[in-house]
Amino acid sequence: MCGRHRLLFSGQHLLCPSFGLQHPLRPLTGGRKVGSVLNRLKPGTSKVLHCRMSSQASKDHPEGPKPPLLVDDHTVATVRDSRILVLLRGLPGSGKSTLAKDIEQKYKDNSRLISADLHEIKPAVRSSGEENYTKLDAELTTCFEKREANLVILDDTHHDRERLDKLFDMANTYHFVVTILEPKTPWRLDCAQLKDRNHWKLSLEELKNLRPTLEKELLPLYFGWFLAKRDQDYLRKTSHEFLEQLGNIKAFKKRLQPYGCEEKQKLDLLKYFAKSPNILHCTTKFCDYGKVLGSEEYAQQEAVKKAYSRGYTLHISALFATPRTVGAQVELTSDQLLIWPPDAEKEVMPKDTFPRGSRAHITLGTAADVQDVQTGIDLLEIVKLQQSGREWESLGELAGPVAGKVSYYENGMWMLNLARKIEVKSIFSGYYGKPGVHVPLRGKKGLFNQCQIM
Ligand code: 2AM
């Protein structure tokens, strides 16, 4: 796969010593408190039906295991610091609305539940045209634009790929992480039971037509840990600080050639790394929506299923910069290694052997024309050089929020080993949208003049 990417380097990295910024614990920012959608129901329509459905489900049947964002304290704390769009997905009558309301209740100060039922959008294989969604989309857009909630819950069947793609685009525009939840009720795919449970009175045949669109799991472009909003902001600031300080150290100024600059020139690294991922994340498995061999098996693993939508703390031990990428090295815990694919390192460097998890990283920025996947390859190059046992040059120390020692490897590869590890909260989920969604690392335009004469 990496053949698709431009691999320009010849194998050096930089080893930066530690940098110790502890983030100040900021108070929860939270969105505005919003009234429940239930308050805005049209009299006598779905409200009664919803309530009936909910109580019927809980009395008659166990509803299956609850998702981590309802029951796991660490996940709850992480969700509160994140921007998340929860898409409830499943057949009508399968228990989505009950789950949606439970989530809304749990996060009532900062969540917004938007329901297709309340917009009277009848689930059907083809008929739910764009126009049916005009009002719902307007409500959703306002909610995103006005920052009405940090947790947006969308209750709909979500069986139609085009519809989903539109939602993934919207989530990207407003920097929301998407998590797809399906009810675990025993009857969720049982059309005979669903016929009596769905308030749209869909016939057995209609339900059977819808079922195949929902049976198959939706595979993302990639799975990974997505950083909570405030930890993401903190890490972006930290990476700017790192690049600014690194660019100013004498030893760096003397080794500009791999970055395409002469010694006398000044390189602004913040401009050099033109783009940054829309949402900072640590990829576990790249799936290409299921096209990558083994991605379906990965998604089916019990550990992966259990981890999905759960909160994790990632530990960052070093920051690194190469002529292609800038990234953060992540040290995975044993718990996190459970969902780390055994072939993650071999996938990009088949001839070498690395300790499991060596590729774990967060891409912070890439130079123009360089793809994100390069960051993990650059990190492995650095690890490989470290493993070779050679002594690397220690060429300076950074201070303040990025305190730590800077090491130089070769070919423009630098690493800062942080004096104190940075901890960031994250949610394990999938990225389902289009590839290549980026924001500038800094500035309004992605590209600037890279080198200036000093
Ligand atoms: P990253 O994890 O280093 O940032 C979409 O391309 C995302 O999937 C990026 O975040 C990218 O890199 C990650 N990724 C991991 N393996 C990949 C591969 N083999 N091809 C493309 N992208 C990959």
Query: How do residues 33-45 score in pLDDT, each as one tens digit?
Result: 333 333 333 333 3
Asked whether residue 36 falls in the same domain as residue 183, the answer is: no
- 360-397 per-position pLDDT tens digit: 999 999 999 999 999 999 999 999 999 998 888 889 99
The parent domain of residue 177 ranges over 68-215
pLDDT over threshold 90, residue 123: no
Query: Tell me, what's the pLDDT at 263?
Result: 76
- Binned at pLDDT 50, 70 and 90, residue 181 comes out as very high
Asked whether residue 208 falls in the same domain as residue 239, the answer is: no
Number of folded domains that form the chain: 3
Report the chain's mean pLDDT, rounded to a whole number: 85
74 included as an active-site residue = no
- Binned at pLDDT 50, 70 and 90, residue 9 comes out as very low
Best mutation site among 172, 283, 320 for ligand 1 pocket (most ligand atoms within 8 Å of CB)? 283
The end-to-end CA distance of the chain, in Å, is: 40
Phi then psi for 312, rounded to 5 degrees?
A: -135, 145
Query: pLDDT > 70: what percent of the chain?
Result: 83
Query: Tell me, what's the pLDDT at 199?
Result: 86
Asked whether residue 151 falls in the same domain as residue 185, the answer is: yes
CB of residue 232 inside a 6 A radius of ligand 1: no
- Binned at pLDDT 50, 70 and 90, residue 127 comes out as low
Among 60, 78, 103, the domain boundary falls at: 60
pLDDT over threshold 80, residue 237: yes
Asked whether residue 42 falls in the same domain as residue 76, the answer is: no
Among 215, 243, 264, the domain boundary falls at: 215
How far away, in angstroms, is 3 Cα from ligand 1 center? 13
CB of residue 410 inside a 6 A radius of ligand 1: no
CB 323 within 8 A of CB 431: no
Helices 161-173 and 134-145: crossing angle in degrees, nearest 10, is 20
Domain contains 297: no
Nearest Cα to Cα of residue 441 among 389, 370, 382:
370
| Position with higher pLDDT, 9 vs 269 | 269
Asked whether residue 194 falls in the same domain as residue 243, the answer is: no
Asked whether residue 200 falls in the same domain as residue 279, the answer is: no
Domain contains 2: no
Quickly tell me which residue has 């009950």 as its tokens.
98
Asked whether residue 377 falls in the same domain as residue 420, the answer is: yes
119 included as an active-site residue = no
- 256-284 per-position pLDDT tens digit: 999 999 877 889 999 999 899 999 999 99
Strand-pair category, 84-88 with 151-155: parallel
Domain contains 296: no
Q: What pTM was estimated for this model as a whole?
A: 0.85
CB of residue 363 inside a 6 A radius of ligand 1: yes
Domain contains 385: yes
- Report the nearest-CA residue for atom 12 of ligand 1: 373
Give dist(CA 226, CA 216) in Å, integer. Answer: 24
Asked whether residue 16 falls in the same domain as residue 139, the answer is: no
- Binned at pLDDT 50, 70 and 90, residue 449 comes out as very low
Average pLDDT over residues 215-241: 96
pLDDT over threshold 90, residue 435: yes
Asked whether residue 343 falls in the same domain as residue 412, the answer is: yes
Find out whether 283 is annotated in a ligand binding site: yes
CB of residue 325 inside a 6 A radius of ligand 1: no
Q: Write down the catalytic residue from 74, 240, 281, 315.
A: 281
Give dist(CA 58, CA 98) in Å, integer. Answer: 9
Asked whether residue 233 falls in the same domain as residue 379, the answer is: yes
Domain contains 452: no
CA quadruple 271, 275, 277, 279: dihedral sign:
positive
CB of residue 156 inside a 6 A radius of ligand 1: no
CA quadruple 71, 82, 236, 363: dihedral sign:
positive
CB of residue 65 inside a 6 A radius of ligand 1: no
Best mutation site among 5, 6, 222, 358 for ligand 1 pocket (most ligand atoms within 8 Å of CB)? 222
pLDDT over threshold 50, residue 419: yes
- Binned at pLDDT 50, 70 and 90, residue 53 comes out as very low
Domain contains 326: yes
The burial of 443, by beta-carbon neighbours within 10 Å (0-12 exposed, 13-18 middle, 19 or more buried), is given as: exposed
Q: In this structure, what CATH number is given to the domain that contains residue 431?
A: 3.90.1740.10
Find out whether 363 is annotated in a ligand binding site: yes
Strand-pair category, 151-155 with 222-227: unpaired
Query: Tell me, what's the pLDDT at 24?
Result: 32
Domain contains 303: no
Among 26, 41, 60, the domain boundary falls at: 60
